[in-house]
Amino acid sequence: MPRVTRGNKRVQRRKKTLKLAKGYRLTKSKLHRSAHESVERGLRFAYRHRRTKKRNFRSLWIVRVGAAARRNDMSYSRFMLGLKKASVELDRKVLADIAIKDPGAFARLVETAKAALAIA
């Protein structure tokens, strides 16, 4: 069986791992084995938290919209139901932004929701 030399592949792979480990402390940024373990762990957290971030932002938007709706004497669930019945298709991200930046426009949305609920 012929002998296979790796050439630069091993060095390149190790350099890539050490580059990703830049900023880690002590041996985790210097030694390949420690660096590889730390980088793998970090990449797992990054993958997991990219999904968690979406959940966290959605709950933040819901809290903001709910607080703004309460200021206008309406619960979050009734507000969202009213918007749905009024065929207002704004997502929670946009509603939260309106609630913070333009309370007057949000108050008009609440009135729209109340009117839609009164009709139904």
**For residue 4, is it within any domain?**
no
Least confident of 6-15, 43-52, 59-68, 103-112: 6-15
SS3 per residue for 70-86: HHCCCCHHHHHHHHHHC
Identify the helix (H) or strand (E) that includes residue 102. none
- Contact in structure between 65 and 95 (CB atoms under 8 Å): yes
Q: How confident is the model at residue 6 (pLDDT cuts 50, 70, 90)?
A: confident
**For residue 67, is it within any domain?**
yes
- The pTM score is 0.79
Q: What pLDDT was estimated at residue 1?
A: 76
**For residue 2, is it within any domain?**
no
CA 23 – CA 19 distance, rounded (Å): 9
* Residue at 22: amino acid letter: K
The domain tally of the chain equals 1
Q: What pLDDT was estimated at residue 5?
A: 74
Name the residue range of residue 35's domain: 9-119
**For residue 61, is it within any domain?**
yes
Q: CATH no. for residue 19?
A: 1.10.1900.20
